[in-house]
Amino acid sequence: MSERTHVFQSPKGTRDFYPADMALRRHLESIWRQMSINHGFEEIDGPTFEHLDLYTVKSGEEIVSQLFRFKREGGDTDYALRPEFTPTLARMYAARAGSLPNPTKWFCIPNFFRAERPQRGRLREFYQWNVDILGDPSSRADAEVVAAAIDALQCLGLKGSDITVKFNHRELIAEVIRQASVSSVNVEAVMGLLDRRDRIEMAEFERQASSLGFDAKHFDSHVGEVAAVINEAIASLETGREPSASNRGPIVGQVVALCRELAARGILNWCEFSPSIVRGLAYYTGMVFEIHEAAGKERAIAGGGRYDGLIELYGGPPTPAVGFAMGDVVIRLVLEDKGLLKPGEEYLPRPDVFVISSGDHLAEKEFASLIARLRREGLHARHSYRATKNVGKLLGEASKVRARLAIILGKELEGGNIIIKDLESGQQRETPLDGVLHALRTMLAETA
- Window 53-82: residues binding a copy of itself (CB under 8 A): 53-54, 57, 65, 67-70, 72-73, 75, 77, 79, 81
Whether 185 and 212 have beta carbons less than 8 Å apart is answered as: yes
Q: Indicate the residue among 155 and 185 with the shorter CB distance to a copy of itself.
A: 155
286 in helix, strand or coil? Answer: coil
Q: Indicate the residue among 138 and 274 with the shorter CB distance to a copy of itself.
A: 138
Q: Indicate the residue among 103 and 275 with the shorter CB distance to a copy of itself.
A: 103
40: left (phi over 0), alpha (psi -120 to 50) or beta: left
Q: How far apart are CA 381 and CA 351, in angstroms?
A: 6
Q: Is residue 48 a contact residue for a copy of itself (CB under 8 A)?
A: yes
Residues 10-39 that bind a copy of itself (CB under 8 A): 10-12, 14-19, 22-23, 25-26, 34-35, 37-39
Angle made by CA atoms 32, 35, 38, in degrees to the nearest 5: 150
Q: How far apart are CA 105 and CA 133, in angstroms?
A: 5
CB contact set of 44 (below 8 Å; sequence gap of 6+) = 89, 92, 106, 107, 108
Q: Indicate the residue among 107 and 219 with the shorter CB distance to a copy of itself.
A: 107
Q: In whole angstroms, how close is the CB of 69 to a copy of itself at the nearest point?
A: 7
Q: Indicate the residue among 312 and 422 with the shorter CB distance to a copy of itself.
A: 312
Whole-number CA gyration radius for the chain:
28
Whether 409 and 360 have beta carbons less than 8 Å apart is answered as: yes
Number of residues forming the site for a copy of itself (CB under 8 A): 93
Q: Indicate the residue among 14 and 428 with the shorter CB distance to a copy of itself.
A: 14
Whether 352 and 377 have beta carbons less than 8 Å apart is answered as: no
- Answer whether the bond into residue 343 is a cis peptide, omega within 30°: no
Q: How far apart are CA 290 and CA 325, in angstroms?
A: 10
Residues 93-122 that bind a copy of itself (CB under 8 A): 94-96, 102-103, 106, 111, 113, 115
Q: Is residue 261 a contact residue for a copy of itself (CB under 8 A)?
A: yes
Q: In whole angstroms, how close is the CB of 399 to a copy of itself at the nearest point?
A: 15
Q: Give the DSSP per-residue string, 215-259.
A: -HHHHHHHHHHHHHHHHHHHHHHHTTPPPPPP-S-HHHHHHHHHH
Q: Is residue 147 a contact residue for a copy of itself (CB under 8 A)?
A: yes
Residues 186-245 that bind a copy of itself (CB under 8 A): none
> 381, 403, 193: which is closest to 280 by C-alpha?
193
Q: How far apart are CA 413 and CA 56, in angstroms?
A: 70
Q: Indicate the residue among 194 and 370 with the shorter CB distance to a copy of itself.
A: 370
Binding a copy of itself (rule: CB under 8 A), the pick from 201, 239, 369, 445 is: 369
Binding a copy of itself (rule: CB under 8 A), the pick from 157, 266, 432, 435 is: 266
Q: In whole angstroms, how close is the CB of 229 to a copy of itself at the nearest point?
A: 24
Q: Indicate the residue among 193 and 256 with the shorter CB distance to a copy of itself.
A: 256
417 in helix, strand or coil? Answer: strand
Binding a copy of itself (rule: CB under 8 A), the pick from 145, 229, 311, 381 is: 381
Q: In whole angstroms, how close is the CB of 406 to a copy of itself at the nearest point?
A: 14
Q: Is residue 45 a contact residue for a copy of itself (CB under 8 A)?
A: yes
